[in-house]
Each structure stands twice: as structure tokens, then as C-alpha cells.
Structure 1
């Protein structure tokens, strides 16, 4: 199957998940992430608000806030398909934005310094065991990820059934460093930790 066919098939399967299954798997994923060394040492984390039965990271946000970490959430521009990140200190701050997704309000001012982000958590529809993903097709993360430094850890989160051996990929697809499911933590590579070095698109 090509990317479009995979996206449709896996979105359809995810829609069939029970809310109880989403909650149980999400809690297991958040628990595993919170015990990793890279989460423990990270101070600035970009997460996301779940839609369409995505893995729910809100329990992980609570852990991060309790530990004094700064949590950022994305704010999307549906016209340009650009995405920026803003600090939030409570879910009560969020307002419905593009596509009905809860995001920082229009007057949010605490925009992230992208060079200082330690971790970026990335949702998706299908992932493979080489660290690549298929998203919704809007290109938001494709545009956002090259703006980060090479020291930022890219973490995919998914249900175990969303992981396949290999998916079709394009030259601009950015591979992840880590993929976490309710059953395993896959580590593909580690960041270069070269401060202020911009990412380049893979050949």
C-alpha cells in the first residue's frame, strides 16, 4: 500500500478502538516514558493534545509539571501549514484552534526557543521499525522539525498495532530517535548533541 492507503486503513482501525483501550494504552506509554533517563533529564518538552483516539499524553504532562519541567504545545496555522510552540502551565489555558484541536490561546506570548527544546513528542498514523512515520498528510511536522537543532530528541508515540516493518518514505521525511508503544521502547539513534546545529533533510 502507498502512504495514502496506509493512512486511510490505519485511521479507520484507530477509530474502532474503545475509549477504555485508548486510556489503558496511553497510561502505559506515559508510565514508560516517565521512567526513561532522557525524560528525567529533559527540562523543555513539546507535547501535543490528542485527537481521533491518538495516544493521550496528558498524564505525562501532569508528571512534567510536577517535576518543574516546561511543557509546550503546538499552535497550527491552517493557511500556511506552519506550526509553532508555546509554553502552557495548565490545560485550562487551552482554546479550540485549527481543526478543533485544543491549543495555546491566540494571545499566547511564551513562544518556545526552538534551539532549547530537549524533546519533541510526535503523533502519527503509522510508524515503522526504522523510525519513520506517516502523519495526516498536512505537512506540519515536516515543516517544523527542520527548524530544530540536532540535539533535540524526536520521540514517536503509538499503539503497538500501528508499528509495521517498513513504510514508504520520501526524501524530506525526518526519522525519529525513539518510538514508544504500550509494549516496547524502540531506540533507533541518538541526537548528535551538537548545540545550535540545524537539522538537514535526509538524502
Structure 2
């Protein structure tokens, strides 16, 4: 199937998950994450889950890492919808957030961090394939950003669904994940 077909199907599948089931699935994702060894990770780019898209609760995952990795620096993306680009802004306990017209919550202020200084990126996705390629929301923000990161950056996605066999229309600009965490296991690509 194409990205557009998969996007339609998996958006709806995710929205069809009850809130009670979603809580359980998020806990299972966290349990899988807790088996991962985060050696050498000092910086994390995460994202604020969009509530009306049924995204996994990344706050659970970044909160766990904040507790486990002493001195972890956490960033959130800030999107530029005119140029279809994004930047990573460093946050702290005093950060104030705003929700843009697309429903994405972003930090209002914060130091912009060079992508080459990021060790781990939580990459949003609807579904991924068995090679680690993902279907996102179709604007290419993350692929353009990830292209600026170091070759050894760890790219991790969270999905309520197991990987599919293949995405029919991936292209040379698509950047695969290193890991996809599902409620049942961690896939390494």
C-alpha cells in the first residue's frame, strides 16, 4: 500500500482505540522502553502527542528517560509551516508551551539546538514497515530534519501496531528508524 492509503487506514485505527485500551497500550510501550539500554544518550528530541490524533503518550517515555538519565537535555520541535522545516528547542521546568493552528504543542521559548548535537529522537509515526521506514503525516518535516543529524543518532518510533511488510512508495529522502517500540516487542532495523 502507498503512504496515503496507509495514512488513512492507520489514522482511523488509532482513533478507534478506546481511551482505556490506549492507557494500557501506553503502559506496555513504556515497559518495552524500560528494557532498552540508553548508553551514551545525553540529549533527546521528543514531541508533544497530538490528542485528537490518538498518538502514544510520549510524556511517559520522556519522563522515564528524565528519571533514568542524569542531566538529560530534552528538546521539542518547533515547526515552520511556510518552509516545511523544524527546529529543536531545549526545554526546562519553566518552559511555556503554545499550541499552533495545526494542534501541535510547542515551546514558546528556548535555545535552538543544532541537530548534530542530538543523540536520540522520538519520531512520530502512524505505522512503519519491516525495514524501519515510516508513514508520518505527509509533510516531510522529520525526514528533512533527520537528514541534518549525525549518522549515529538513534531514531525511535512508538506504534500501537506491528510493522507492515513494506511501504510501496518510499523514496530516497525517507530516513528509516533504528527502532520501533510496539506493545509486544522492540523492532531493530
Q: TM-score normalised to the size of structure 1?
A: 0.84
Q: Is the 8 A contact 2:126 2:134 kept in 1?
A: yes
Q: How does 1:75-114 map to 2 (within 5 A)?
A: 75-90=78-93, 93-105=96-108, 108-114=109-115
Tell me the distance in 2 between the aligned counterparts of 1:129 and 1:31. Answer: 22
Shift in Å at residue 171 of structure 1? 1.7
Identify the residue that residue 148 of structure 1 maps to in structure 2. Answer: 149
Deviations 1:100-143 (A, max 9, x none): 211111xx231113212110111111211111101111111121
Tell me the distance in 1 between the aligned counterparts of 2:65 and 2:94. Answer: 13
Shift in Å at residue 89 of structure 1? 2.0
Q: Is the 8 A contact 2:126 2:136 kept in 1?
A: yes
Identify the residue that residue 27 of structure 1 maps to in structure 2. Answer: 27
Identify the residue that residue 36 of structure 1 maps to in structure 2. Answer: 36
Worse-superposed segment, 94-103 or 41-50: 94-103
SS at the partner of 1:86?
strand
Identify the residue that residue 60 of structure 2 maps to in structure 1. Answer: 59
- Aligned residue-pair number: 184
Shift in Å at residue 16 of structure 1? 0.9
**Which structure has more helix as a fraction of its residues?**
1
- Which ranges in structure 1 are unaligned for 5 or more consecutive residues? 189-203
Deviations 1:26-69 (A, max 9, x none): 222123223311x2541101111111111111012222333431
CA 1:91/1:134 → structure 2, altered by over 3 Å: closer, same or farther? farther
Q: TM-score normalised to the size of structure 2?
A: 0.90
Identify the residue that residue 46 of structure 1 maps to in structure 2. Answer: 45
Q: Is the 8 A contact 2:97 2:106 kept in 1?
A: yes
- Where relative contact order (Cα < 8 A, 6+ residues apart) is larger, the structure is 2
